[in-house]
A and B are shown apart, each in its own frame.
Chain A
């Protein structure tokens, strides 16, 4: 893998942080996918995880806490040629940004959302995140967590996502494969990455991951038809209610129209001339729009 994927900015995560694994796997996936660097956009929220675009040598948009998805949606809808990938923490994407995560599933744009799931709010010093189990008390919490955990995979199915996978930050090869698959998928994807935060979360350790996860083996994630979709959803509920977390590709549904296709079915010119490809002036002058033809009902006489 070429070091050329490093932006040169020093990654300022704590030693041992799972974000390093995600960073490494991401660079590997991007280089192996062979997409033109300028055509990639990493869009992130706020948190330790949100800093990742600065470290990778591709265009990066580090946005607001919880808002990476709408930024990414606007970018993708305007210029469908760009490969758009969202990164955020579990607090960012499942707490403050939850509404956008659901809305994205409903739209099914060609965007992969990578959830750095460390069970805590890292950058604000370890408060409970939406994926922390009820009653747990990490070392950074004064009292046990009084909220139940949300499961991003189940939320993803309910919201209409067409790609769902889970991986682990320090299983670089597995994570890289999931990233490649998710980035190549056409439609909305969630890749949940179990990410140790040694600084605040003493519950999700490497040891814990060993004991509490397993690789999916005889699971075919690809949805074939409507009936299969129902079966798969039920199967996934089964998978996800187990004690141990499944790692691997959980759902691939290529049948649903992407947001881009939906727009193109209404705006006929969209597929050939999306907003970013349209002119808005001729030699510095407004386009020759014929107002009476375009807006007949506003004219009188």
Chain B
């Protein structure tokens, strides 16, 4: 079997169909039997600014992206200017030949600082300032350039006129990209059909475009210089797979987990989750009968979203909301109310770059300490941090169960990396749905907050029994009290859940060790950064390092004892995460007393890549204590 690891970048202006181009390429690669992982980078802008997909495909599982790349397919000049230096030796640049005379330095969407940086860079390289000059420079430096008359071909062969051409350019570009990587037109067309399964008109247009563009591919100047074909090999058949973004994965997980009320207020990168739920509001069984139909309510703000979800939960409905940092801030008071009233409610929080609206469309892992501490006072809650799409899906189901089992708010902590990256996952295996402790009928006066041996009291839903709730301290019936003894006992009942949760959680939900036992170095990480660390392991080991990766999954209550075991076993512990402080490392310090000195951090809003993990690890081994990563545009 051919070992392969293909990295592609498809770039263009936001709103120029780059998202579709990326999805088409990812789908084609996945349908070719490959494992894929694709990052999507975009500005907080609707039209015009630079956006791109970085797609990785391999015949083994991949969970991160990697530089340098094999192909850069550019829809516009900015994409060429931004990504030409990402190409590896022998790498291929693809663009429309109509761009040749364009200047690299007169690009209005680019920030002034970036233009200046680019100018200095081009000057230093001696690369020239037009696309044509840059192409020549690339070719002198061992790269392949495919200039293709996309727009001309579309006009002549598909008989499209502007502005429809623009709608077709993305497919044209993707077709050349995939053909250049060795894929046959037949396979590309299968992917087109599959992507546009519900849109006949778009399907026909895109088929025509792919066909016309592919026809001329072999005559293209530069095609002969392409190396061995990497795609289109015979691959062992794979079982059924799904292609999902993190938002999709969580939506699917929530629905499998019994979600019946989702509330939200629009925010990137969370809103797509609610959209997916809304689109699949009818859950069908194999006979096509509806077995459930959850409702989605767009609230007037995040405060309302969390309060509505809590209201739903009080009636016994599995309820959830989703948001990102700014919205989560607004939810803090509601989460506290849910904690005080022992309400099972799930909040999915997708971190993005803060503070404030920060980098609204970019990645970050800087809300860990905020989510575990959100809300005033003290109360039990669960915060689970997923590190991959599979986990995001499984954890979404798990969060629903944990919320009802312990009657606490559960925060499902994700990041933009997971929300917007697309990858293949195996269809989930359906597990248990635990509704938690329910009150038995006929046991006399119902006490919602009965204090017994178990900190979890039997639940009745609104509509079934007399019961009271209040954000104030309350007695067993739910009525306000300031009695010190009742206060102490209720406080202890609520807090005792933390111990119970920790005691009952399976080890695998707390943390996962990847790599050899008997490690010397331990990379401690969480969230989507885990993928880059795991992907980097084989290379690190090939350098002779005895290193393992510890992914922390449950961050509240913190499994200090379990984590300590691994940490004490290692000679060197290195934190790896996408924030400035090293929040997980700090949390470990607080809970275990073990100070993690070496930290690899990134806060540019871009994903930590596999190659960066390798470099940074080497630098740490070379004596650096704090390595700050800066890769990616």
Contact = CB atoms under 8 A, between A and B. Distances in A.
A103 B243 CA distance: 37
Interface in A270-301: 270, 273, 275-276, 278-281, 284-301
Given A62-B472, A67-B303, A280-B258, 12 more contacts: A64-B307, A64-B337, A67-B304, A70-B305, A73-B308, A78-B311, A99-B300, A99-B304, A284-B434, A294-B283, A298-B242, A299-B243
A125 interface: no
Given A64-B307, A64-B334, A74-B311, A287 B291 contact: yes
Interface string B459-503: 001111111111110000011100000000000000000000000
B448 to A, nearest CB: 10
Given A70-B299, A263-B295, A270-B295, A299 B468 contact: no
B569 to A, nearest CB: 37
A71 interface: yes
Contacts of B592: none
B252 interface: yes
Contacts of A59: 462-463, 465-468
A38 B309 contact: no
Nearest to A75: B311
A79 interface: yes
Query: A-B pairs with the 10 shortest C-beta distances?
Result: A74-B311, A280-B258, A74-B308, A281-B433, A70-B307, A275-B260, A62-B470, A103-B300, A70-B304, A78-B312
B31 A300 contact: yes
Contacts of A289: 255-256, 283-285, 291-292, 430
Contacts of A214: none
Interface bin, chain A: 35 or more
Interface of B: 27, 30-31, 194, 197-198, 238, 240-244, 248, 252, 255-258, 260-261, 263, 280-286, 288, 290-295, 297, 299-301, 303-305, 307-319, 333-334, 337, 397, 424, 427-428, 430-435, 461-472, 478-480
A3 B432 CA distance: 46
A285 B432 contact: yes
Given A9-B479, A290-B286, A275 B433 contact: no
A197 to B, nearest CB: 20
Contacts of B295: 77, 263, 267, 270, 275
A73 B311 contact: yes
B242 A299 contact: yes
A54 B312 contact: no
B397 to A, nearest CB: 7
Contact of A63 (B243, B424, B471): B471
A287 B290 CA distance: 11
A71 B294 contact: no
Contacts, number: 247
A9 to B, nearest CB: 5
Nearest to A293: B284
Contacts of B241: 299-301
Contact of A72 (B281, B309, B311, B333): B311
A300 to B, nearest CB: 5
Interface of A: 7, 9, 37-39, 41, 43, 46, 51, 53-54, 57-64, 67, 69-79, 81-82, 99-100, 102-103, 263, 267-270, 273, 275-276, 278-281, 284-301
9 contacts: A9-B480, A64-B337, A67-B303, A70-B300, A263-B295, A267-B295, A275-B317, A279-B292, A289-B283
Contacts of A73: 297, 304, 308, 311
A64 to B, nearest CB: 6
A37 B241 CA distance: 51
A284 B469 contact: no
Contact of B308 (A71, A82, A292): A71
A286 B257 CA distance: 7
A273 B293 contact: yes
A301 B292 contact: no
A291 B252 contact: yes
Contacts of B428: 291
A79 B315 contact: yes
Given A74-B307, A75-B315, A61 B469 contact: yes
Contacts of A63: 307, 337, 469, 471
A288 B248 contact: no
| Residue of B243, B291, B305, B435 with most partner-chain A CB within 10 A | B291
A290 B285 contact: yes
Nearest to B311: A74
Contacts of B291: 279, 287-289
B294 A57 contact: no
Contacts of A280: 257-258, 260, 292, 318, 433, 435
A39 B468 contact: no
Contacts of B461: 79, 276
Contacts of A273: 293
A78 B307 contact: no
Nearest to B400: A280
A7 B477 CA distance: 11
Given A287-B283, A300-B242, A267 B293 contact: yes
Contacts of A69: 304
A299 to B, nearest CB: 6
Given A60-B469, A270-B295, A288-B286, A54 B433 contact: no
A292 B316 CA distance: 28
Contacts of A267: 281, 293, 295
Contacts of B314: 61, 71, 74-75
A300 B261 contact: no
B310 A74 contact: yes
B94 to A, nearest CB: 24
B252 A71 contact: no
B470 A100 contact: no
Contacts of A70: 299-300, 303-305, 307-308, 311
Contacts of B310: 71, 74
Contact of B240 (A82, A102, A275, A301): A301
Contacts of A284: 432-434
Nearest to A41: B462
B468 A60 contact: yes
Given A57-B466, A59-B467, A275-B260, A82 B433 contact: no
A43 B397 CA distance: 30
B424 A290 contact: no
A206 B392 CA distance: 61
A71 B244 contact: no
A58 to B, nearest CB: 7
Contact of B280 (A9, A294, A300, A301): A294
B162 to A, nearest CB: 30
Contacts of A81: 463
A103 B260 contact: no
B256 A286 contact: yes
A46 B469 CA distance: 13
| Residue of B194, B248, B260, B261 with most partner-chain A CB within 10 A | B260
Contacts of A58: 466
Contacts of A268: 293
A71 to B, nearest CB: 4
A239 to B, nearest CB: 29
Nearest to B194: A300
